Amino acid sequence: MKVLKKIKENLFFVLVILAYIVVTLINPSMGLDSVKNSGYYIKEMLLIMPVIFILTALLDLWIPKDKIMKYLGKDAGLKGTFLAFVIGSISAGPIYAAFPMCVMLRKKGASTRNIVVILSSWAVIKVPMLLNEVKFLGLKFMIVRWILTVLAIILFSWLTDKMIKDKDYPEEIAKSSELTIDKKACMGCNVCVEQYPELFEMEGNKAIVKEHDENMLDMEKLKTTIEACPVKAIEYKK
Amino acid sequence: MDFFTIAIWVGTVVFLLVSFIKNKEKTKKALKMAFNMGKGMAKSIFAIIFAIGLILTFLPPEQIAEFVSNQPALIATVASALLGTITLVPAFIAFPLVGTLVNAGVGIMPSVAFLTTLTMVGVVTFPLEKEKFGLKFAAIRNGFSFLFAIIIAVVMGVFI
Protein backbone atom coordinates (compact mmCIF):
# COMPACT_ATOMS: atom_id res chain seq x y z
CA MET A 1 0.00 0.00 0.00
CA LYS A 2 2.79 2.37 0.90
CA VAL A 3 4.50 1.79 -2.42
CA LEU A 4 1.25 2.41 -4.27
CA LYS A 5 0.76 5.67 -2.44
CA LYS A 6 4.29 6.79 -3.28
CA ILE A 7 3.71 5.98 -6.94
CA LYS A 8 0.45 7.88 -6.94
CA GLU A 9 2.09 10.93 -5.40
CA ASN A 10 4.81 10.95 -8.02
CA LEU A 11 2.77 9.62 -10.89
CA PHE A 12 4.19 11.89 -13.56
CA PHE A 13 7.77 11.26 -12.47
CA VAL A 14 7.21 7.49 -12.49
CA LEU A 15 5.56 7.65 -15.93
CA VAL A 16 8.48 9.56 -17.40
CA ILE A 17 10.97 7.05 -16.03
CA LEU A 18 8.90 4.16 -17.39
CA ALA A 19 8.67 5.83 -20.79
CA TYR A 20 12.45 6.15 -20.87
CA ILE A 21 12.93 2.50 -19.97
CA VAL A 22 10.49 1.34 -22.65
CA VAL A 23 11.94 3.62 -25.34
CA THR A 24 15.52 2.64 -24.54
CA LEU A 25 14.66 -1.05 -24.63
CA ILE A 26 12.99 -0.74 -28.01
CA ASN A 27 15.43 1.71 -29.54
CA PRO A 28 18.52 2.58 -27.49
CA SER A 29 19.58 5.47 -29.72
CA MET A 30 16.21 7.19 -29.26
CA GLY A 31 16.56 6.95 -25.51
CA LEU A 32 20.00 8.49 -25.76
CA ASP A 33 18.71 11.28 -28.04
CA SER A 34 16.01 12.11 -25.52
CA VAL A 35 18.54 12.47 -22.74
CA LYS A 36 20.64 14.69 -25.00
CA ASN A 37 17.61 16.81 -25.87
CA SER A 38 16.97 17.32 -22.17
CA GLY A 39 20.47 18.72 -21.77
CA TYR A 40 19.61 22.23 -22.86
CA TYR A 41 16.60 22.36 -20.52
CA ILE A 42 18.67 21.23 -17.57
CA LYS A 43 21.10 24.05 -18.25
CA GLU A 44 18.25 26.53 -18.60
CA MET A 45 16.77 25.30 -15.34
CA LEU A 46 20.04 25.48 -13.39
CA LEU A 47 20.65 29.02 -14.59
CA ILE A 48 17.39 30.31 -13.22
CA MET A 49 15.80 28.08 -10.59
CA PRO A 50 18.28 28.55 -7.71
CA VAL A 51 17.99 32.31 -7.95
CA ILE A 52 14.19 32.16 -8.22
CA PHE A 53 13.99 30.07 -5.05
CA ILE A 54 16.26 32.43 -3.12
CA LEU A 55 14.43 35.51 -4.39
CA THR A 56 11.06 34.00 -3.52
CA ALA A 57 12.20 33.15 0.01
CA LEU A 58 13.69 36.61 0.55
CA LEU A 59 10.56 38.36 -0.68
CA ASP A 60 8.49 36.04 1.47
CA LEU A 61 10.39 37.01 4.61
CA TRP A 62 10.92 40.71 3.94
CA ILE A 63 7.73 41.90 2.27
CA PRO A 64 4.84 42.00 4.73
CA LYS A 65 1.53 40.44 3.80
CA ASP A 66 -0.44 43.65 3.71
CA LYS A 67 2.02 45.19 1.23
CA ILE A 68 1.41 42.30 -1.18
CA MET A 69 -2.30 42.62 -0.57
CA LYS A 70 -2.19 46.32 -1.24
CA TYR A 71 -0.24 46.08 -4.48
CA LEU A 72 -1.42 42.75 -5.91
CA GLY A 73 -4.55 41.94 -3.91
CA LYS A 74 -8.21 42.06 -4.81
CA ASP A 75 -8.49 45.81 -4.37
CA ALA A 76 -5.25 46.72 -6.13
CA GLY A 77 -7.21 47.38 -9.31
CA LEU A 78 -5.53 48.45 -12.54
CA LYS A 79 -2.27 49.26 -10.83
CA GLY A 80 -2.12 45.70 -9.49
CA THR A 81 -2.68 44.22 -12.94
CA PHE A 82 -0.04 46.51 -14.40
CA LEU A 83 2.45 45.47 -11.72
CA ALA A 84 1.64 41.82 -12.40
CA PHE A 85 2.40 42.34 -16.09
CA VAL A 86 5.69 44.01 -15.24
CA ILE A 87 6.71 41.17 -12.89
CA GLY A 88 5.89 38.56 -15.51
CA SER A 89 7.54 40.38 -18.41
CA ILE A 90 10.88 41.17 -16.82
CA SER A 91 11.26 37.69 -15.42
CA ALA A 92 13.44 34.99 -16.88
CA GLY A 93 13.06 31.28 -17.28
CA PRO A 94 10.33 28.87 -18.31
CA ILE A 95 6.78 29.03 -16.97
CA TYR A 96 7.38 26.55 -14.16
CA ALA A 97 9.90 29.00 -12.69
CA ALA A 98 6.91 31.24 -11.99
CA PHE A 99 5.17 28.62 -9.84
CA PRO A 100 7.05 29.02 -6.53
CA MET A 101 6.91 32.81 -6.83
CA CYS A 102 3.17 32.79 -7.52
CA VAL A 103 2.45 30.34 -4.71
CA MET A 104 4.22 32.69 -2.31
CA LEU A 105 2.39 35.76 -3.64
CA ARG A 106 -0.96 33.99 -3.52
CA LYS A 107 -0.33 32.93 0.08
CA LYS A 108 0.33 36.52 0.98
CA GLY A 109 -2.88 37.75 -0.51
CA ALA A 110 -2.31 38.41 -4.21
CA SER A 111 -5.55 37.96 -6.14
CA THR A 112 -6.23 35.06 -8.48
CA ARG A 113 -6.47 37.53 -11.32
CA ASN A 114 -3.00 38.92 -10.78
CA ILE A 115 -1.54 35.45 -10.32
CA VAL A 116 -2.91 34.43 -13.72
CA VAL A 117 -1.48 37.62 -15.24
CA ILE A 118 1.97 36.90 -13.80
CA LEU A 119 1.96 33.26 -14.90
CA SER A 120 0.76 34.02 -18.41
CA SER A 121 2.97 37.01 -19.08
CA TRP A 122 5.90 35.08 -17.59
CA ALA A 123 5.28 32.55 -20.35
CA VAL A 124 4.64 34.71 -23.40
CA ILE A 125 5.72 38.30 -23.10
CA LYS A 126 9.32 38.25 -22.05
CA VAL A 127 11.22 41.29 -23.20
CA PRO A 128 14.23 39.39 -24.63
CA MET A 129 11.73 37.25 -26.51
CA LEU A 130 10.18 40.31 -28.12
CA LEU A 131 13.50 41.29 -29.70
CA ASN A 132 13.88 37.78 -31.02
CA GLU A 133 10.40 37.99 -32.46
CA VAL A 134 11.17 41.25 -34.31
CA LYS A 135 14.29 39.67 -35.74
CA PHE A 136 12.53 36.67 -37.19
CA LEU A 137 8.97 37.82 -37.80
CA GLY A 138 9.12 41.58 -38.15
CA LEU A 139 8.11 44.55 -36.03
CA LYS A 140 4.49 44.69 -37.13
CA PHE A 141 3.96 41.02 -36.32
CA MET A 142 5.46 41.46 -32.88
CA ILE A 143 3.45 44.57 -32.00
CA VAL A 144 0.10 43.17 -33.12
CA ARG A 145 0.73 39.87 -31.36
CA TRP A 146 1.88 41.62 -28.22
CA ILE A 147 -1.22 43.82 -28.04
CA LEU A 148 -3.57 40.91 -28.70
CA THR A 149 -1.82 38.74 -26.12
CA VAL A 150 -2.01 41.42 -23.44
CA LEU A 151 -5.71 41.95 -24.17
CA ALA A 152 -6.34 38.20 -24.04
CA ILE A 153 -4.53 37.85 -20.72
CA ILE A 154 -6.48 40.76 -19.21
CA LEU A 155 -9.73 39.18 -20.33
CA PHE A 156 -9.12 35.60 -19.26
CA SER A 157 -7.43 36.50 -15.98
CA TRP A 158 -10.63 38.35 -15.11
CA LEU A 159 -12.75 35.35 -16.12
CA THR A 160 -10.53 32.94 -14.15
CA ASP A 161 -10.84 35.16 -11.09
CA LYS A 162 -14.63 34.86 -11.31
CA MET A 163 -14.48 31.09 -11.57
CA ILE A 164 -11.92 30.20 -8.90
CA LYS A 165 -12.93 30.29 -5.25
CA ASP A 166 -10.49 30.22 -2.35
CA LYS A 167 -11.51 26.66 -1.55
CA ASP A 168 -10.35 25.51 -4.99
CA TYR A 169 -6.75 26.11 -3.99
CA PRO A 170 -4.69 23.40 -2.27
CA GLU A 171 -4.49 23.65 1.48
CA GLU A 172 -0.93 24.94 1.41
CA ILE A 173 -2.04 28.14 -0.29
CA ALA A 174 -5.42 28.60 1.30
CA LYS A 175 -4.51 28.19 4.96
CA SER A 176 -1.97 30.94 5.31
CA SER A 177 -4.21 33.97 5.12
CA GLU A 178 -5.72 33.36 8.53
CA LEU A 179 -4.98 36.49 10.43
CA THR A 180 -6.20 39.77 9.02
CA ILE A 181 -6.94 43.28 10.16
CA ASP A 182 -9.83 45.16 8.64
CA LYS A 183 -8.08 48.37 7.68
CA LYS A 184 -11.25 50.37 7.26
CA ALA A 185 -12.41 49.51 10.76
CA CYS A 186 -9.06 49.93 12.52
CA MET A 187 -8.79 53.30 14.21
CA GLY A 188 -5.21 52.94 15.35
CA CYS A 189 -5.88 52.70 19.08
CA ASN A 190 -2.71 50.66 19.66
CA VAL A 191 -4.47 48.16 21.96
CA CYS A 192 -3.43 45.12 19.91
CA VAL A 193 0.18 46.27 19.82
CA GLU A 194 0.17 46.59 23.61
CA GLN A 195 -1.50 43.21 24.06
CA TYR A 196 0.62 41.24 21.63
CA PRO A 197 3.65 43.27 20.48
CA GLU A 198 5.30 40.25 18.85
CA LEU A 199 2.45 39.99 16.38
CA PHE A 200 1.11 43.47 15.77
CA GLU A 201 2.73 46.77 15.02
CA MET A 202 1.67 50.23 13.93
CA GLU A 203 2.22 51.48 10.45
CA GLY A 204 1.22 55.10 10.24
CA ASN A 205 -2.09 55.26 12.09
CA LYS A 206 -3.21 51.70 11.38
CA ALA A 207 -2.21 48.41 12.95
CA ILE A 208 -0.69 45.68 10.78
CA VAL A 209 0.15 42.03 11.33
CA LYS A 210 3.87 41.39 11.61
CA GLU A 211 5.69 38.66 9.77
CA HIS A 212 5.13 35.52 11.83
CA ASP A 213 5.17 31.76 11.87
CA GLU A 214 1.59 30.44 11.95
CA ASN A 215 2.62 27.51 14.14
CA MET A 216 4.20 29.68 16.80
CA LEU A 217 1.10 31.74 17.62
CA ASP A 218 0.13 32.06 21.25
CA MET A 219 -3.58 31.26 20.91
CA GLU A 220 -4.56 32.53 24.37
CA LYS A 221 -2.83 35.82 23.81
CA LEU A 222 -4.29 36.16 20.34
CA LYS A 223 -7.78 35.49 21.63
CA THR A 224 -7.55 38.17 24.30
CA THR A 225 -6.16 40.58 21.74
CA ILE A 226 -9.00 39.93 19.31
CA GLU A 227 -11.50 40.51 22.10
CA ALA A 228 -9.67 43.60 23.27
CA CYS A 229 -9.91 45.33 19.90
CA PRO A 230 -12.62 47.97 20.39
CA VAL A 231 -13.83 47.85 16.78
CA LYS A 232 -13.42 44.08 16.29
CA ALA A 233 -11.18 44.62 13.30
CA ILE A 234 -8.99 41.56 13.88
CA GLU A 235 -10.16 38.36 12.30
CA TYR A 236 -8.66 34.90 12.73
CA LYS A 237 -9.89 31.96 10.69
CA LYS A 238 -8.76 28.44 11.40
CA MET B 1 22.64 34.12 -20.33
CA ASP B 2 20.41 36.97 -21.40
CA PHE B 3 20.37 40.35 -19.75
CA PHE B 4 17.31 39.67 -17.60
CA THR B 5 18.67 36.47 -16.14
CA ILE B 6 21.85 38.31 -15.21
CA ALA B 7 19.81 41.19 -13.76
CA ILE B 8 17.82 38.80 -11.59
CA TRP B 9 21.01 37.16 -10.34
CA VAL B 10 22.63 40.51 -9.53
CA GLY B 11 19.46 41.86 -7.93
CA THR B 12 19.03 38.76 -5.78
CA VAL B 13 22.67 38.74 -4.65
CA VAL B 14 22.37 42.40 -3.62
CA PHE B 15 19.08 41.66 -1.85
CA LEU B 16 20.73 38.74 -0.08
CA LEU B 17 23.67 40.88 1.08
CA VAL B 18 21.41 43.66 2.38
CA SER B 19 19.26 41.06 4.08
CA PHE B 20 22.33 39.49 5.67
CA ILE B 21 23.60 42.81 7.00
CA LYS B 22 20.19 43.69 8.39
CA ASN B 23 19.28 40.36 9.89
CA LYS B 24 21.50 37.29 9.87
CA GLU B 25 18.94 34.93 11.35
CA LYS B 26 16.26 35.89 8.88
CA THR B 27 18.63 35.49 5.97
CA LYS B 28 19.64 32.03 7.13
CA LYS B 29 15.98 31.15 7.38
CA ALA B 30 15.42 32.43 3.85
CA LEU B 31 18.22 30.30 2.45
CA LYS B 32 16.87 27.28 4.25
CA MET B 33 13.41 27.99 2.84
CA ALA B 34 14.85 28.35 -0.66
CA PHE B 35 16.67 25.06 -0.31
CA ASN B 36 13.54 23.26 0.85
CA MET B 37 11.52 24.77 -1.98
CA GLY B 38 14.09 23.47 -4.43
CA LYS B 39 14.09 20.05 -2.82
CA GLY B 40 10.31 19.93 -2.95
CA MET B 41 10.13 20.82 -6.62
CA ALA B 42 13.23 19.00 -7.91
CA LYS B 43 11.46 15.77 -8.79
CA SER B 44 8.69 17.52 -10.68
CA ILE B 45 11.09 19.75 -12.56
CA PHE B 46 13.29 16.87 -13.66
CA ALA B 47 10.19 14.97 -14.74
CA ILE B 48 9.16 17.98 -16.86
CA ILE B 49 12.60 18.35 -18.40
CA PHE B 50 13.03 14.70 -19.30
CA ALA B 51 9.49 14.52 -20.64
CA ILE B 52 10.34 17.40 -22.98
CA GLY B 53 13.48 15.59 -24.11
CA LEU B 54 11.43 12.53 -24.95
CA ILE B 55 8.75 14.51 -26.77
CA LEU B 56 11.35 16.33 -28.85
CA THR B 57 12.76 12.99 -29.98
CA PHE B 58 9.38 11.79 -31.20
CA LEU B 59 8.05 15.12 -32.43
CA PRO B 60 10.96 17.22 -33.63
CA PRO B 61 9.82 20.84 -34.23
CA GLU B 62 10.97 20.63 -37.86
CA GLN B 63 8.70 17.69 -38.43
CA ILE B 64 5.79 19.54 -36.85
CA ALA B 65 6.45 22.41 -39.25
CA GLU B 66 6.47 20.09 -42.21
CA PHE B 67 3.29 18.37 -41.14
CA VAL B 68 1.43 21.60 -40.48
CA SER B 69 2.46 23.20 -43.77
CA ASN B 70 0.61 20.51 -45.72
CA GLN B 71 -2.78 21.07 -44.05
CA PRO B 72 -5.63 23.49 -44.89
CA ALA B 73 -5.60 26.68 -42.78
CA LEU B 74 -8.22 25.81 -40.17
CA ILE B 75 -6.98 22.30 -39.48
CA ALA B 76 -3.41 23.59 -39.49
CA THR B 77 -4.31 26.21 -36.88
CA VAL B 78 -5.94 23.78 -34.47
CA ALA B 79 -3.29 21.14 -35.11
CA SER B 80 -0.42 23.50 -34.48
CA ALA B 81 -2.11 24.81 -31.33
CA LEU B 82 -2.42 21.22 -30.09
CA LEU B 83 1.14 20.36 -31.04
CA GLY B 84 2.29 23.54 -29.34
CA THR B 85 0.73 22.41 -26.07
CA ILE B 86 2.66 19.16 -25.93
CA THR B 87 6.01 20.60 -26.88
CA LEU B 88 7.88 23.24 -24.94
CA VAL B 89 10.77 24.78 -26.83
CA PRO B 90 12.92 27.76 -25.86
CA ALA B 91 12.23 31.10 -27.55
CA PHE B 92 15.45 31.12 -29.52
CA ILE B 93 14.32 27.96 -31.29
CA ALA B 94 10.64 28.84 -31.45
CA PHE B 95 10.99 32.19 -33.23
CA PRO B 96 13.31 31.13 -36.04
CA LEU B 97 11.13 28.07 -36.49
CA VAL B 98 7.92 30.09 -36.70
CA GLY B 99 9.74 32.54 -38.98
CA THR B 100 10.54 29.64 -41.30
CA LEU B 101 6.91 28.54 -41.13
CA VAL B 102 5.63 31.94 -42.21
CA ASN B 103 8.23 32.27 -44.96
CA ALA B 104 7.44 28.81 -46.25
CA GLY B 105 3.88 29.97 -46.80
CA VAL B 106 2.25 28.14 -43.88
CA GLY B 107 0.24 31.22 -43.05
CA ILE B 108 0.10 33.49 -40.07
CA MET B 109 -2.71 31.72 -38.25
CA PRO B 110 -1.14 28.32 -37.59
CA SER B 111 2.20 29.95 -36.86
CA VAL B 112 0.77 32.26 -34.20
CA ALA B 113 -1.33 29.50 -32.65
CA PHE B 114 1.79 27.36 -32.39
CA LEU B 115 3.85 30.17 -30.91
CA THR B 116 1.30 31.03 -28.22
CA THR B 117 0.49 27.53 -27.03
CA LEU B 118 4.15 26.56 -27.13
CA THR B 119 4.88 28.82 -24.22
CA MET B 120 1.59 29.41 -22.41
CA VAL B 121 -0.05 25.99 -22.34
CA GLY B 122 1.85 23.00 -21.10
CA VAL B 123 0.88 19.38 -20.92
CA VAL B 124 4.18 18.55 -19.26
CA THR B 125 3.93 21.34 -16.69
CA PHE B 126 0.28 20.55 -15.94
CA PRO B 127 0.92 18.03 -13.12
CA LEU B 128 3.10 20.54 -11.27
CA GLU B 129 0.67 23.39 -11.83
CA LYS B 130 -2.14 21.20 -10.55
CA GLU B 131 -0.15 20.28 -7.45
CA LYS B 132 0.67 23.89 -6.66
CA PHE B 133 -2.60 25.65 -7.54
CA GLY B 134 -5.23 22.92 -7.64
CA LEU B 135 -6.87 21.07 -10.50
CA LYS B 136 -9.52 23.68 -11.21
CA PHE B 137 -7.04 26.54 -11.47
CA ALA B 138 -4.66 24.61 -13.73
CA ALA B 139 -7.47 23.37 -15.96
CA ILE B 140 -9.08 26.79 -16.33
CA ARG B 141 -5.84 28.67 -16.94
CA ASN B 142 -4.55 26.20 -19.52
CA GLY B 143 -7.98 25.92 -21.14
CA PHE B 144 -8.34 29.67 -21.55
CA SER B 145 -4.78 30.00 -22.80
CA PHE B 146 -5.48 27.42 -25.46
CA LEU B 147 -8.75 29.02 -26.49
CA PHE B 148 -7.26 32.49 -26.67
CA ALA B 149 -4.22 31.21 -28.56
CA ILE B 150 -6.60 30.23 -31.34
CA ILE B 151 -8.53 33.50 -31.11
CA ILE B 152 -5.30 35.51 -31.25
CA ALA B 153 -4.18 33.44 -34.23
CA VAL B 154 -7.42 34.04 -36.13
CA VAL B 155 -7.43 37.79 -35.42
CA MET B 156 -3.79 38.02 -36.51
CA GLY B 157 -4.62 36.14 -39.66
CA VAL B 158 -7.19 38.83 -40.46
CA PHE B 159 -4.94 41.76 -39.52
CA ILE B 160 -1.66 40.83 -41.16
3-class DSSP string for A75-124: HHHHHHHHHHHHHHHHCCCCHHHHHHHHHHHHHCCCCHHHHHHHHHHHHH
Q: Is A32 on the interface with B (CB under 8 A)?
A: no
A92 Ramachandran zone, left/alpha/beta (phi>0; psi -120 to 50): beta
Residue contact B50–A38, C-beta within 8 A: yes
Average pLDDT over residues A127-154: 87
pLDDT at A215: 67
Residue B59's pLDDT is 82
Tell me the C-alpha distance between A31 and A21, whole Å.
Answer: 8
The nearest alpha carbon in chain A to B31 belongs to A54
pLDDT at residue B8 is higher than 80: yes
Better-predicted residue by pLDDT, A74 or B87 = A74
Average pLDDT over residues A1-15: 81
Residue B1 or residue A150, greater confidence: A150
Contact of A11 with chain B, judged by CB distance below 8 Å, is answered with yes
Q: Is A41 on the interface with B (CB under 8 A)?
A: yes
* Residue A22 pLDDT exceeds 60: yes
Helix, strand, coil % over all residues of chain A, rounded to 5: 70, 5, 20
Give the minimum alpha-carbon distance from A123 to chain B in angstroms, rounded to a whole number.
5
- Neighboring chain B residues of A136 at a CB cutoff of 8 Å: 95-96, 98-99
* Residues in chain B within 8 Å Cβ distance of A60: 30, 33
Average pLDDT, stretch A13-34? 91
- Nearest C-alpha neighbor of A119 from the set B22, B135, B101, B142: B142
Bigger pLDDT: A105 vs B72: A105
Q: Which of B9, B131, B132 sits opposite A51 (nearest CB)?
A: B9
CB contact under 8 Å between A136 and B115, yes or no, is no
Asked if the Cβ–Cβ distance from B132 to A132 is below 8 Å, we say: no
Contact, A175 vs A217, CB < 8 A? no
The residue in chain A having the minimum alpha-carbon distance to the alpha carbon of residue B97 is A136
Question: Greater confidence, B95 or B12?
Answer: B12
Residue in A95, A155, A159 nearest the CB of B122: A95
Nearest CA distance, B74 vs chain A (angstrom): 19
Q: Write out the H or E segment, with its range, that includes residue A19.
A: helix A11-26
The answer to whether A87 contacts chain B (CB < 8 Å) is: no
Do you know the residue count of chain A? 238
pLDDT at B139: 95
Confidence of residue A174 (pLDDT cuts 50, 70, 90): low
pLDDT of A84: 94
d(Cα B116, Cα B17) in Å, to the nearest integer?
Answer: 38
- Mark out the alpha helices in chain B (DSSP H runs): 3-22, 24-58, 61-69, 73-86, 91-103, 108-120, 126-133, 135-159
Q: Which amino acid is at A202?
A: M
- C-alpha distance from B25 to closest chain A C-alpha (Å): 11
pLDDT digits (tens, 9 = 90+) for A68-100: 888 999 888 899 999 999 998 888 778 888 999
With beta carbons under 8 A apart, name residues in chain A contacting B99.
Answer: 136-137
Indicate the pLDDT class of residue A238, thresholds 50, 70 and 90: low
Q: Cβ of B4 and A90 within 8 Å?
A: yes
Q: Do the Cβ atoms of A156 and B116 come closer than 8 Å?
A: no
pLDDT by residue (tens digit) across B146-156?
999 999 999 98
* Other residues' Cβ atoms within 10 Å of the Cβ of residue A230: 11
Mean per-residue pLDDT, B21-33: 92
Distance CA A67, CA B10 (A): 24
Compute the nearest-CA separation of A26 from chain B (Å): 13
Which among B12, B48, B57 has CB closest to A30? B57
Q: Interior CA angle at B17 toward A62 and A50, to 5°? A: 75
A84/B contact by beta carbon, under 8 A: no
For A214, how many CA atoms within 13 A lie in the half-sphere containing its CB?
A: 15
Residue A177: per-residue pLDDT = 52
- For residues B142 and B73, the model is more confident at B142
Decide if A97 contacts A113 (C-beta within 8 A). no
